[in-house]
Copies of this chain bind each other. A is one copy, B any other.
C-alpha cells in the first residue's frame, strides 16, 4: 500500500505479442521496455515535485507519442489507405472533465490536442477535419502526415498486399496517475489497428472504453482490440470494480476476464486506485508497462 501522500504513475505501451524481431509492427521488445520506463520516470518526477495527475499523464503520453517505438503519434501504424490517423483522450478524475480527438491526420501530439479540447472548448470529442481546424485555432501547427510515418511502418504497409487487417491495436500507449492531492487522471493515445479503414475509430478516444478517471473510483487506460473494449465499456467497468471494493489488480483481472468471456476481446488495462496502488492485467502474450513502487522506484515489465 502506498502512503497517501506518495504519488503514483503507471504507463503501458500496448498489449500485443512478445516480438524481439519487431516484425509484428510492435517494434522490438527492449526499446519498448526502455520507452515505457523513460515515460514513467519523467511523469513520476513531475508528480514528486507536486505536479498534478493530469499533467503527469499528459507528459507520459506525449513522450510515448514522440517515441517511434510505439503505435501512437510518430511511428503509428498505417491505415488501408497508407496514411496515419490518430486518436487520443484524457480524463481528469477530480472534475470528470475529459477531452478527446479522433481521426486526426496532421497533429504531432494528439494528447495535447485532446487537452485543448478539454480546457479550451465547450466540446469533449472533435474528429477529423474539424479537429485539425480546432488545432490551428489553438496554435497547434500542422504536422505533415508523412512525418508521423516511420520507415518500418511504411515497409510493413508495403509488404501488406493481401494481408488481413489486424484486429489488435498493438502498441497503443496510455498512462494513469495519482498525485499528492489524491486526484487521479488517465490518458490514452493510438494509431489504431494496422490497415484499418480510414475513419475507423477504436476505444482509445472513447471515454468509458479506452480511458476513464474518477477520484471516487480509479483511473484506467485500456489497450488492445478496440471494438470489444467499447462493447464492454472496459475502462468504466474496471473503475466501477475498484469503486465496489476490489483492489486495482483484482479489478484489472476481472475486467480482462469479462472482456474475454463476453466478447472474445484481447487486450489489457492499467489502473491506479485512490490508494495509489497500481493494477495491471492483459490476456495477450505481453503488455509493455512501467510503474512507480511505493518507494518511488520505477519498475518495468513486458
Contacts and interface: CB of A to CB of B under 8 A. Distances in A.
Nearest to A232: B96
A269 interface: no
A201 interface: yes
A130 B127 CA distance: 11
A230 B201 contact: no
Given A127-B128, A129-B129, 5 more contacts: A127-B199, A127-B201, A129-B199, A134-B199, A207-B230
Given A96-B232, A96-B262, A197 B227 contact: no
A207 to B, nearest CB: 5
A103 B127 CA distance: 8
Given A124-B230, A127-B199, A236 B262 contact: no
A196 B165 CA distance: 34
B230 A125 contact: yes
A126 B207 contact: no
Contacts of A231: 91, 96-98, 124, 207
Interface residue tally of chain A, by bracket? 35 or more
A5 to B, nearest CB: 26
13 contacts: A96-B231, A96-B232, A122-B165, A122-B227, A125-B202, A126-B201, A127-B127, A127-B128, A129-B129, A133-B198, A207-B233, A208-B236, A233-B233
A96 B32 CA distance: 34
A196 B208 CA distance: 23
A126 B206 contact: no
A63 interface: no
B129 A198 contact: yes
Contacts of A129: 128-129, 198-199
How many of these chains are in the complex? 2
A91 B206 CA distance: 16
B233 A199 contact: no
B230 A98 contact: yes
Contact of A199 (B130, B167, B240): B130
Contacts of A122: 165, 167, 227
Contacts of A126: 197, 199-201
Of A121, A133, A201, chain B has the most CB atoms within 10 Å of the CB of A201
A277 to B, nearest CB: 24
A209 interface: yes
B262 A131 contact: no
Contacts of A96: 231-232, 262-263
A252 interface: no
A94 to B, nearest CB: 12
B133 A199 contact: yes
A123 interface: yes
